[in-house]
Structure 1
Amino acid sequence: MADRKSSTEASTEQLKADLRHLSQTIEDLVKATADDSRSNIKELRERAEKRLHDTRERLEARGERLYGETRESVREQVDACDRYVHDNPWTSVGIGAAVGVVIGMLIGRR
């Protein structure tokens, strides 16, 4: 769990750094446009496009990795709940009934 947390923090820091670099490149492009130096604009535009492409790839990869990790975690939790219900059917029925009574009482108060 600690490895996953440190990996997430490292990925978050990397994305923050990428976005800072991209932002800085775009600011440079805007400043260069005011100068109207054609070669300078072309170079800065190419840098901005490359950084944008790299950042987009990292964001997509991170999103896919988060989706996979979340999906696996949910699957494990569902499996654990399923095993618990199969191993303790009467306890599960009692918990369900208690939750139903509490929800019924809360709704009935309105």
Structure 2
Amino acid sequence: MPDVNSEFSTASKQKLVSDMKIVVSDAEEILRATAGVAGEKMGDLRERIGESLRDAKLRLADAEVAVVDRTKAAARATDDFVHENPWRAVGVAAFVGLLLGALISRR
């Protein structure tokens, strides 16, 4: 059966990738908005930010690939488990359904 901790870890990584995409997009927008601002310090700052953004995009792409790979591996492991243990999978699903039903009925 797939490791629950790795599933939560994958979900956290997906959220992190999504958040990082927003940060990169916002930083690019700031760079575009300040394109007309003159000055040596501003030019140096824009260059450093541009380099950092390029590096961040590369790391973000790598992280996204890792998340997709882990998600696919978890799906394969779950599929294999269900095919190898169909009745056990049905039992686990029924138990989880029973627990959810009990929790919902308490409200």
TM-score of the pair, normalised by structure 2: 0.61
Residue of structure 2 in register with 1:44 after alignment: 41
| 2:87 paired with 1:94 | no
Amino acid at match of 1:97: A
Secondary structure, counterpart of 2:39 in structure 1: helix
Residue of structure 2 in register with 1:73 after alignment: 70
After TM superposition, the structure 1 stretch with the greater mean CA deviation from structure 2, 53-62 or 87-96, is: 53-62
Higher RCO structure, 1 or 2 (CA under 8 Å, sep 6+): 2
Deviation per CA, 1:7-58: give whole Å up to 9, x if none: xxxxxxxxxxxxxxxxxxxxxxxxxxxxxxxxxx733232112101101101
Q: Rg bigger for which structure?
A: 1
For structure 1, the 5+ residue unaligned runs are 1-40
Say what the alpha-carbon RMSD is for the aligned residues: 1.3
Amino acid at match of 2:103: L
After TM superposition, the structure 1 stretch with the greater mean CA deviation from structure 2, 66-75 or 41-50, is: 41-50
Superposition deviation, residue 63 in structure 1: 1.1
Alpha-carbon distance between aligned partners in 2 of 1:109 and 1:53, rounded to the nearest angstrom: 54
Superposition deviation, residue 109 in structure 1: 1.1
TM-score of the pair, normalised by structure 1: 0.59
Structure 1 stretches of 4+ moved >6 Å: none
Amino acid at match of 1:56: L
More helix per residue: 1
Alpha-carbon distance between aligned partners in 1 of 2:39 and 2:101, rounded to the nearest angstrom: 67
Alpha-carbon distance between aligned partners in 1 of 2:97 and 2:57, rounded to the nearest angstrom: 42
What is the correspondence of 1:1-110 to structure 2 with a 5 Å cutoff? 42-110=39-107
